[in-house]
Amino acid sequence: MIEVRGLTKRYGEVLAVDDLSFTVRPGEVTGFLGPNGAGKSTTMRMLLGLDAPTSGTATVGGLPAAAQPVPLRAVGALLDAGALLPGRSAFHHLLALAASNGFPRRRVDAVLEEVGLSGVARRAAGTYSLGMKQRLGIAAALLGDPPALVLDEPLNGLDPEGIVWIRRLMRRMAAEGRAVMMSSHLMSEVELTVDHLVVIGRGRLIADTGRAEFIASCAERTEREVVVRTPRAAPFGGRLAAAGGAVRPDGEDGLIVTGLGAARIGALAAADGVELHELALRQTSLEEAFMELTRDSVEYSARKVPARKASAGTDPTGKETVR
C-alpha cells in the first residue's frame, strides 16, 4: 500500500505540493492526474525518496522508500525512460541493477521476456526508440517483483500494440494484489485502465474517488446532451428549438440537444411522425469530466486567438484568392 499524508513541498516562494493526502490500495490501478504544473512529478519524487518533503510523509508498506532494506523489492518506478547510459545494452543495464540489489540473473531474463525486449537485449539502449526505452524502464520497475508500482507517463512513445500491452500489464499487476499508481495525460487510456482516481491541481487534492463516481459527479454538474439522428434533421431541429431546446447540428443527419430530455424529444418525434435513427443521452467521458473539474487549476493555458476576418482578396478561410 502507498500512503501519502499531509505531504507538502516548497521551493522558495513556490508551494509545489500543498498538504496532500491519499492512498493507493493493493489490487487497484490508481490514476494520478492533474494539469501540467499540478505537482504530480514532485509528489512521485518525494514518494520514491528522491526529494525530501518540507512536511508530511509518503510511505510504501509502512516505510519511506529510502528506509526500505531493498527499495526495489518494495516499489518499482518509472519516472524517466531516458535515464540510462546510452552505450550500455538493455541486458547489462538491468544486470547492473540486479547485481547492486542482490537479485539473481534469472530476474533479468524474466523481465526482458515480460516486456518483449529479449530479442534486442544486447543492443545499446541509446539506439532504442522511445517506446523501447519505456519498455526497458518498466522492466527495471519489475526487476524486484515489488508489491507497488509507480509509473509516470508509462504510455509515452508506445505504439497501439504497446499501449494495449501496458494496459493489460497494469491490470494484471493489480489483479495479483499489487498497488499500481500511474500518471498520464491520455485520458481515453486512463478511462480504460484505472479503478480509482486521485486528481490534483496547483499541488492540492481535487478528487479522490472511483473512476465511475468521478465521471458521474461531473456529469451531474453539467447539462446533459441528447444525440438525435434523423433524415429530417433540419426541420425537426426547428421543432425542438420551438419547444425550448438548444439545438446544434452534428453532421448531415444529427443534432445535439440540451434543454429537452430524451423522453420529451421522443414524444415530439412520435407526434410529428419523425423517423428517428438514434436517440440517446450523450455519455460524459473521463476527459470531459477531468477538463470540467480542473478548469480553475490549469496553470499553463494557451491564449485563444480570435478568428481572422475575411478581407478583399481572401476567401472566408483567410487564404488568398485568384482574381
Residue-wise pLDDT tens digits, 22-70:
999 999 999 999 888 889 999 999 999 999 999 999 999 999 998 999 9
What's the pLDDT at 83? Answer: 85
Residue % of the chain over a pLDDT of 90: 66
Residue 319 falls inside a structural domain: no
How would residue 303 be classed by pLDDT, with cut points 50, 70 and 90? low
What's the pLDDT at 323? Answer: 35
Based on the fold, state whether residues 254 and 212 are members of the same structural domain.
no
Look at residue 107 and tell me whether its pLDDT is greater than 80.
yes
How would residue 321 be classed by pLDDT, with cut points 50, 70 and 90? very low
Based on the fold, state whether residues 200 and 229 are members of the same structural domain.
no
Residue 97 falls inside a structural domain: yes
Which one of 189, 218, 247 terminates a domain?
A: 218
Q: Indicate which CATH number applies to the domain containing 132.
A: 3.40.50.300
Based on the fold, state whether residues 245 and 116 are members of the same structural domain.
no
Residue 317 falls inside a structural domain: no
Under DSSP, the state recorded for 65 is G
Mean pLDDT along residues 176-186: 92
Based on the fold, state whether residues 144 and 19 are members of the same structural domain.
yes
Look at residue 293 and tell me whether its pLDDT is greater than 70.
no
Residue 159 falls inside a structural domain: yes
Which one of 194, 218, 242 terminates a domain?
A: 218
Residue 322 falls inside a structural domain: no
Question: How far, in Å, CA of 278 to CA of 266, rounded?
Answer: 10
Look at residue 322 and tell me whether its pLDDT is greater than 50.
no
Based on the fold, state whether residues 39 and 173 are members of the same structural domain.
yes
Based on the fold, state whether residues 209 and 234 are members of the same structural domain.
no
Residue ranges making up the domain that contains 232: 222-281
**Residue appearing with cell numbers 552505450:** 87
Around Cβ 113, how many Cβ atoms within 10 Å?
A: 13
User: What is the chain's mean pLDDT, rounded?
Assistant: 87
What's the pLDDT at 95? Answer: 96
**Residue 323, CA distances (Å) to 312, 313, 315 in order:** 11, 8, 11
How would residue 255 be classed by pLDDT, with cut points 50, 70 and 90? very high
Based on the fold, state whether residues 229 and 108 are members of the same structural domain.
no
What's the pLDDT at 218? Answer: 65
Based on the fold, state whether residues 105 and 253 are members of the same structural domain.
no
Residue 287 falls inside a structural domain: no
Residues 6+ apart with CB under 8 A from 202: 18, 37, 38, 39, 297, 299
Under DSSP, the state recorded for 309 is P
Look at residue 320 and tell me whether its pLDDT is greater than 50.
no
Based on the fold, state whether residues 193 and 263 are members of the same structural domain.
no
How far is C-alpha 292 from the chain's CA centre?
15
Look at residue 96 and tell me whether its pLDDT is greater than 60.
yes
Number of domains, the chain? 2
Based on the fold, state whether residues 131 and 272 are members of the same structural domain.
no
Question: How far, in Å, CA of 274 to CA of 282, rounded?
Answer: 21
Question: How far, in Å, CA of 182 to CA of 207, rounded?
Answer: 16
Under DSSP, the state recorded for 51 is S
Minimum mean pLDDT range among 142-146, 239-243, 293-297, 303-307: 303-307
Residue 43 falls inside a structural domain: yes
Which one of 218, 238, 254 terminates a domain?
A: 218
Q: Indicate which CATH number applies to the domain containing 252.
A: 3.30.70
Residue 312 falls inside a structural domain: no
Based on the fold, state whether residues 190 and 234 are members of the same structural domain.
no
What's the pLDDT at 309? Answer: 46
What's the pLDDT at 317? Answer: 42
Based on the fold, state whether residues 143 and 232 are members of the same structural domain.
no
Residue % of the chain over a pLDDT of 70: 86
